[in-house]
Amino acid sequence: MTASRIVEKSQTLPYPRGARVLHLGLVLLFSFELLNSILALWFQHFSLFQWHILAGLALSFWLTLSWVVYLSTSWGRQLLYVWYWPGNIRAIFSDVGRLSRGRLPGHGPEPGLSSWWQGMFFLLVSWVDYAGLAAWLTMRGYLAVPDLTQIGLSSMRLGTPILLYFWLGHVGMALYHAARRQPLWSIFALW
């Protein structure tokens, strides 16, 4: 399927309910995890750490469910194509050029900067969360892989600030699009 066909479909079809449910779960679980990571890593505040572990386990499940749904549904595969197809690099550079001239690029599941940002964010969240899960499983004795705990903890320490920047950019652009009255909040409409 070509990128232009995906754009046509994305402009005529609302987000499927399953995609909206998955997105809301990812937003809530990840935002809590990020806040907890910042409190622990930067401010040495560990009072919510048990909740951090539980939310991390829930996020691991939710990410796995998201990957399975994205890979097994037509809509999800189209989304992954828009996020990760190397042929979409021209659209990303085109959006960067428009943004540098003061014009806001598009949003939603179409090739470009927004989709690249969303796709990289999803990959980074997956990497950091699964690395944290592997570290936790190793520390609990469920896995016996040398250095896996250190790899997981290092990934979380490195990933937290990077994910914070992606999260701030994502939320900032969502608010900017909303201020421009673009219909982007439909991703949160569960009914």
> Per-residue pLDDT tens for 109-131?
788 888 888 899 999 999 999 99
Give me the pLDDT at residue 133, please.
93
Task: Report d(CA 13, CA 5) in Å as an integer.
Answer: 12
Return all residues near 62 (Cβ < 8 A) that are at least 6 apart. 22, 25, 26, 29
pLDDT bracket for residue 186 (50, 70, 90): low
Between these two residues, 124 and 7, which has the higher pLDDT value?
124
Is residue 190's pLDDT more than 70? no
pLDDT bracket for residue 184 (50, 70, 90): low
Are 27 and 185 within 8 A, CB to CB? no
Give me the pLDDT at residue 141, please.
85
Is residue 14's pLDDT more than 70? no
DSSP code, position 183: S
Is residue 188's pLDDT more than 70? no
Tokens of 21: 């449910």
Give me the pLDDT at residue 2, please.
52
Is residue 1's pLDDT more than 80? no
Give me the pLDDT at residue 189, please.
61
> Per-residue pLDDT tens for 130-170?
999 999 999 888 888 888 888 888 888 888 889 999 889 88
Is the CA virtual torsion 146, 36, 39, 27 positive or negative?
A: positive
Are 136 and 56 within 8 A, CB to CB? yes
> Per-residue pLDDT tens for 54-109?
889 999 999 999 999 999 999 899 989 999 988 889 999 998 898 888 787 766 77
Return all residues near 105 (Cβ < 8 A) that are at least 6 apart. 94, 95, 98, 99, 112, 113, 114
Can you tell me the mean pLDDT for 40-58? Answer: 80
Give me the pLDDT at residue 13, please.
45
Tokens of 178: 């909303």
